[in-house]
Structure formats: structure tokens, C-alpha cells
């Protein structure tokens, strides 16, 4: 992380769909890097944002892994003309670029983080 930057983590309980609202609000602050992961009984939804890449939305399974749906895969196969294009298209759907960019923030300062739990 850069000097003068901060990291925060929060857990909350609310109705489903709040992650999209939170991500939309955070996205308006164009200089933030963030992840918002909403979990439910069947998986969840993951929003990731960096100023350089913009926003990425993905559905996740119970373990947090990104799920690909039939329409996404079909679109990649329809628009790709070679193996490299297919690989790039799948990487885009999975959000690999966002994952790589945000990885440096995930472990930073773990010994200093205190968790805030809202009830």
C-alpha cells in the first residue's frame, strides 16, 4: 500500500442486495480500491473496483469462487477467434485483473486490523 493510505474491513447483516448499493456508492469516490462481497445461503455476489479498471461484478459460490454462467461463456466463444482471445475473455469474466490489482491490499497491515461487527 502507498504511504498515507488506509485499509478497512466491515461485516454487516441486512437484506440481500445491499452489496450493489454499497458498491455503487463507493464507486462514486473514484480514487478508492475496494471489494464488497455479499454472502447468502446459495453463494453470493462480489463487486470489485479499481480506478484504472472500473467495476467488476460476479456471482460466487459458497466458497467465494467466481461462477461463470452459460451466457458469459457463449459470448466469449462467439466473439473470440483464437485460443488467446478465449483465455482473455474468460479471465475478464473471472475478474483476474481486479483480483491481481486488489491482492496487494488484502494482506496489508493484518496485524493492525480490528474488526467491527454490526448487529
69-109 pLDDT, tens digit each: 999 999 999 999 999 999 999 999 999 999 999 998 887 65
Confidence check: pLDDT of 35 > 50: yes
pLDDT 10s digits, 41-53: 888 999 999 999 9
pTM of the model: 0.81
pLDDT-derived band at 23 (thresholds 50, 70, 90) equals very high
User: DSSP letters along the chain, please?
Assistant: --TT-----EE----TTHHHHHHHHHHTSTT--EEEEEEETTEEEEEEEETTTEEEEEEE-TTSPEEP-HHHHHHHHHH--SHHHHHHHHHHHHTHHHHHHHHHHHSTTGGG---EE--
Amino acid at each position: 500500500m502507498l504511504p498515507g493510505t488506509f485499509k478497512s474491513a466491515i461485516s454487516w447483516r441486512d437484506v440481500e442486495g445491499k452489496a450493489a448499493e454499497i458498491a455503487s456508492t463507493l464507486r462514486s469516490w473514484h480514487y478508492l480500491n475496494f471489494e464488497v462481497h455479499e454472502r447468502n445461503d446459495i453463494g453470493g455476489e462480489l463487486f470489485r473496483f479499481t480506478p484504472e479498471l472500473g467495476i467488476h461484478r460476479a456471482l460466487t459460490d459458497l466458497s467465494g469462487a467466481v461462477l461463470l454462467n452459460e451466457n458469459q461463456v457463449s459470448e466469449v466463444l462467439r466473439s473470440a477467434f483464437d485460443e488467446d482471445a478465449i483465455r482473455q475473455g474468460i479471465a475478464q469474466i473471472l475478474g483476474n485483473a481486479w483480483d491481481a490489482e486488489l491482492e496487494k491490499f488484502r494482506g496489508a497491515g493484518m496485524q493492525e486490523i480490528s474488526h467491527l461487527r454490526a448487529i
